[in-house]
Structure 1
């Protein structure tokens, strides 16, 4: 079963990062107030970015690293401008590039 790392942009401009098997279902849960505590306080607006991984462990490692990025870096990652750093992140966390 494949897992996804995703970023959600919230109404206040903040970015929530999480993992899920079904990103659309998880986003719906966030919107309905049944997701993470963070998204109950920061209304989700849209899925900003998502990337698929072969297992939960890989997704969790990448999620942890992305959560350490600044909001500006997360937006650059979502727009494709942080490609080299993202490939480095993959090598560091997973031992391979994407």
Structure 2
């Protein structure tokens, strides 16, 4: 199994990634051992994750959500599917 995950960084930004071992990857992010965007933006908080049967599916989901607006990502962290739908249709595009 593979995971697509989203972290909220200390500066309020979001980071998306995928992995086959979410606990190990989160430990790496928390310790600053994963050489990426989060290293200088700790602490980080896991705000969303979803399991997928293949790495390819997890990567497709990661890339899709990376292209979303900040408002849409925030709605995902809140589980607000109706807001995600509205934002996807282009209404309230500047919603924060």
Length-normalised TM-score, structure 2: 0.79
Aligned residues: 85
What is the rounded CA distance, in whole Å, between the counterparts of 2:44 and 2:29 in structure 1? 10
Where in structure 2 are the equivalents of 1:1-16 lying within 5 Å?
2-16=1-15
Q: Verify the 8 A CA contact 1:10 1:42 in the aligned structure 2.
A: yes
* 2-structure distance, mates of 1:66, 1:33: 23
Structure 2 stretches lacking a partner, 5+ long: 89-96
- 1:31: which partner in 2? 30
Q: CA deviation at 1:24?
A: 1.9
Work out which of the two has the higher radius of gyration on C-alpha atoms and give 1 or 2: 2
Give deviations 1:19-59, integer Å, cap 9, x for gaps. 01121210110111111420112113210010000000000
Runs (5+) with no aligned partner, structure 1: 89-98
Structure 1 Cα separation of the partners of residues 18 and 43 of structure 2: 15
The answer to which structure has the higher helix fraction is 1
1:58 counterpart residue number: 57
Pair 68,55 (structure 1): closer, same or farther in 2 beyond 3 Å? same
**More moved, 6-15 vs 21-30:** 21-30
8 Å CA contact 1:8–1:17 kept in 2: the answer is yes
| Cα distance change, pair 7–44 in 1 and its aligned pair in 2 (3 A) | farther
